[in-house]
Amino acid sequence: MPINIVIAKTPKLIDEVFKIRHKVFSEEEGLLEATKDKRLIDRFDAIPTSKNLIVMIENEVIGSFRMTLDSEIGLPADEYYNFRKHLQKDTYIMHTGMFCVKKEYRNPRITMDLMLMASYFGKSNGVTHVVAPINPQIGKLLQRIGFVAVGEEFIDSSTGAIMLPLILDVEELNDFFMNFVKKNQLQDFLGDYERSFYKKGEYVIKAGEDGLYAYLIIAGSAFVNLPHSNETIAEIKEGEVFGELALLTDEVRSADIVASSDLQVMTLSKPIFIKYFFNQPQQAQKLLKLMGRRTQTLITQLEELKYKSE
């Protein structure tokens, strides 16, 4: 089942962040006291340097992860542990926390995809170090990414939870994560943080659906199949755009698009796509080049199929 990860920007999605925290931390784990409105919020949620990644499956918000860039009011981490004694003054710090996923959806794939996007966000915003006072069980995963423990486990006085203080030097990200960051920086000329992750064989688009999104392949590839059949007429690869014609023409999808490998795509909603296409000429020019390259590739592949069938 595809996983969609975005930064919560709309009031509805931000409210979903507060609700999913309550669901996990208060109702499932019993770490924080339940509230009447079933939402968990703190003062750092009110500042513009805090962003929340949310993970969705079939439009259901099933998890979130907060990223807070350092500012004059400090970081949430400052209230747990003195990370700054381990860092030089010229570092730019990001705190990651409020990591929560509904119990029935917890698996390494979702955790990894959230961590990948947080790494990309931090690197894109000039962060040099990431600090995380975190559950030791999740800490084991973070240490495989490149985080280093800088102190002993301690008990958070407000929740009674055991915490482990970790720091990541962004330049020490392991190769898998750094490769993800570099690929996203190469392709993401729009500065967009909305991503979808598909496993091999999963449908990205089905013929007959309304065109709500265009897609840019960050990594992997996908087959273009004739509707209601498994006949492949083309393959689209890294750096290519697809699904954009339905946004421009308001026609339904004309073909099935199926991941031919594990696939990562940048997802562009119709309003975002139209905004960039018509209001920002430089981005529109890049999109046109990508669309033209994809069209030429499709023509070449169709000609090869025709030649083989003769």
Q: Which two tokens mark 301?
A: 């592949």
d(CA 103, CA 29): 9
Q: Residue 308's pLDDT band (boundaries 50, 70, 90)?
A: low
Taken in order of first residue, the domains within the chain and their CATH numbers are 3-187 (3.40.630.30), 196-309 (2.60.120.10)
Q: Residue 299's pLDDT band (boundaries 50, 70, 90)?
A: low
Q: Inter-axis angle of helices 175-187 and 108-124, to 10 degrees?
A: 60
Give the residues across from 64 on adjacent strands.
Answer: 54, 100
The β-bridge relationship of strands 222-225 and 256-259 is: antiparallel
Nearest to 223 by CA among 234, 209, 238: 234
Check: CB of residue 232 under 8 Å from CB of residue 301: no
Please count the helices (runs of H) and the strands (runs of E) in the chain. 7, 16
d(CA 218, CA 186): 9
Using alpha carbons, list the distances in angstroms from residue 80 to 76, 146, 150, 162, 266.
8, 21, 13, 11, 35
128-167 confidence digits (pLDDT tens)? 999 998 888 778 878 888 899 999 988 887 777 888 999 9
40-86 confidence digits (pLDDT tens)? 999 999 999 999 999 999 889 999 999 999 999 999 999 889 999 99
d(CA 265, CA 274): 18
Give the residues across from 7 on adjacent strands.
Answer: 53
75-122 confidence digits (pLDDT tens)? 999 988 999 999 988 899 999 999 999 999 988 888 888 988 999 899
Using alpha carbons, list the distances in angstroms from residue 306 to 245, 255, 295, 296, 299.
24, 18, 16, 15, 11
Nearest to 154 by CA among 142, 136, 127, 128: 136
Question: Does residue 139 sit in helix, strand or coil?
Answer: helix
Q: What is the pLDDT of residue 293?
A: 65
Check: CB of residue 140 under 8 Å from CB of residue 153: no
